[in-house]
Structure 1
């Protein structure tokens, strides 16, 4: 659980430090650039320790799910709002809980209560009085991001491939799928200001390689449903970091929502 919690803290810190700069980059530039630079950074590890043939097909599925989660998330925040995109993406633990129940798994009542508390807390923290915005298009992208994130966690659960090697393969899949869009927007890429490149550098290293590596490390032994729920600490840490770093005040309902997410995670501890 600790690696996933650390990943959530890094994602939240990244949102507080570079969120505005990243939102100014067109998604058809940011998404493939994130995958490409992350893949190039991890490629030496993949070449040095190639995954076992028995897991290669599964890693392809992990890559497809990761590509969908990232692409649909950025499309959601551009079609709607950041709050809408974040909240809808974190429907993933609810979807995995529903899937477990449909399969006939018996989950403790405290675990179900924890998922409900965390979901309501995320709404209070992330959305608050603004309500969900963005229309059908933004909502559709957000729901697809949630489905993809749930599939990413479920397909990666129990992998034997080292986390950074698995992430290298996954980002390679994302690069293959998204690179044509970047090639069509080379002018927009050249026009990126210097500050945007700083945000991209953070996004690649401490926003992708390190936290997603930690997430893959955690989900090797942690159930996917629990891992995605612990990842909901991201908006909590983002709100806390944004207070001193971006001067954003902590609203009372945000504090209540953060406390509910923490309680939901605690109720689902193993």
Structure 2
């Protein structure tokens, strides 16, 4: 579970930095550029080690990743970052419900752990202001959770190397989002040097490295556990926001972080 934990830490760091340098890039430009630049970065590796034998699964991984990213950015655009993050991290709940519907017998401690983690995420991310946004934004948030759950499920047990798998997935995302990018070329040329530096960070340490680590971990860690461990992202984001954005940790955030850790502990293998 160490690779998934490291991925969550990097996602949390990216979330803490996002408030500083990602405000000027609209989602209709950010989403396709994130996919395209990540794909171009991974393309040499993909050409050197072309995937064999798992094309169908890799296509499903790419579709799920595309949905998770696109729906997440649409959700935070129509709601708030806090609401979007919390809704996306309903993924372990959906995977738990799916496992139960398939007759899998989960120990009570695992079910309690999911409950504690979700309550902790709500206290940590949302807080007293509650969920904010439009009904459509909430729908996008739920779709991002379903897509993230599918991404973890389709990636479980892949034999293709993680970065090669990610190269295929970002390639799928690039193709799907290319019409959106072509429709906003004018805004593309208006990006400042700071915006391009922000994108460089988001592509490398916000996408390629953490998603590669997540794919490495989910090869052996069941998707339900993997998405639960990934809930350490908002906790690390709150910790990183203290020195970066000078945001103090609220009391309920401390309690929420403890509940997330306790929920992950109860689901340890």
Q: Same fold (TM over 0.5)?
A: yes
User: Conserved in 2, the CA contact under 8 Å of 1:29 and 1:182?
Assistant: yes
Question: Deviations along 1:123-166, whole A, 9 cap, x unmatched?
Answer: 00000011101120110000000000000000000000000000
- Please report how far the alpha carbon of residue 194 of structure 1 lies from its aligned counterpart in structure 2 after TM superposition: 2.2
- Please report how far the alpha carbon of residue 196 of structure 1 lies from its aligned counterpart in structure 2 after TM superposition: 1.8
Q: What are structure 2's unaligned runs of at least 5 residues? A: none
Residue 27 of structure 1 is matched in structure 2 by 27
Structure 2 Cα separation of the partners of residues 168 and 41 of structure 1? 8
- Please report how far the alpha carbon of residue 19 of structure 1 lies from its aligned counterpart in structure 2 after TM superposition: 3.4
Question: Deviations along 1:34-56, whole A, 9 cap, x unmatched?
Answer: 0000000001111111111x200
- Please report how far the alpha carbon of residue 210 of structure 1 lies from its aligned counterpart in structure 2 after TM superposition: 0.2
Q: What are structure 1's unaligned runs of at least 5 residues? A: none
Residue 16 of structure 2 is matched in structure 1 by 16
Structure 2 Cα separation of the partners of residues 22 and 103 of structure 1? 41
- Please report how far the alpha carbon of residue 193 of structure 1 lies from its aligned counterpart in structure 2 after TM superposition: 2.2
Distance of aligned partners of 1:23 and 1:103 in 2 relative to their CA distance in 1, 3 Å threshold = farther
Question: Deviations along 1:7-44, whole A, 9 cap, x unmatched?
Answer: 00000001112334224311110000000000000011
Structure 1 runs of 4+ with >6 Å offset: none
Structure 2 Cα separation of the partners of residues 93 and 100 of structure 1? 10
- Matched residue pairs, number? 269
Q: TM-score, normalised by structure 1?
A: 0.98
Structure 2 Cα separation of the partners of residues 13 and 36 of structure 1? 22
Q: Secondary structure at the match of 2:22?
A: helix
Q: TM-score, normalised by structure 2?
A: 0.99
- Please report how far the alpha carbon of residue 192 of structure 1 lies from its aligned counterpart in structure 2 after TM superposition: 1.5
Residue 41 of structure 2 is matched in structure 1 by 41
Q: Secondary structure at the match of 2:54?
A: helix
- Please report how far the alpha carbon of residue 189 of structure 1 lies from its aligned counterpart in structure 2 after TM superposition: 1.1
Structure 1 Cα separation of the partners of residues 79 and 135 of structure 2? 9
User: Conserved in 2, the CA contact under 8 Å of 1:23 and 1:78?
Assistant: no
Residue 122 of structure 1 is matched in structure 2 by 121
